[in-house]
Amino acid sequence: AMIPLVKEDGTSHYNADNSLIKILLRVPSLSEPLTELLLEKLPVVSDDRNCNIARMTVSQLRWMNSLSYDVVITKLNEVLPVCPLPVQKEMIAGLPEILSDE
């Protein structure tokens, strides 16, 4: 769901950088609950040796204009302490792009 969408003929209906998650995050009614769900699942699907899922999840949240910063901060405060250290680093490294000045 986090891999860019491409048709079988090699063309993409959406921008090649769009994944299913990014498309769903742009839907206003889905943005907040999906953000919460993605952040809640990080401790479950991540481990000390592999933080690729965390990296992909954080990359989906970067540059999203419709995110509720209150939701992101609240969820990060909940899940950050229980995530493995590499995942914590990924999440913290992504904060400047997720929580822009706008």
Strands (DSSP E) found in the chain: none
- Mean pLDDT value of segment 45-51: 71
> Sorting pLDDT into bands at 50, 70 and 90, what band is 4?
low
Contacts of 59 (CB under 8 A, 6+ apart): 2, 94
Q: How confident is the model at residue 16 (pLDDT cuts 50, 70, 90)?
A: very low
Query: Where residue 14 falls among pLDDT bands split at 50, 70, 90?
Result: very low
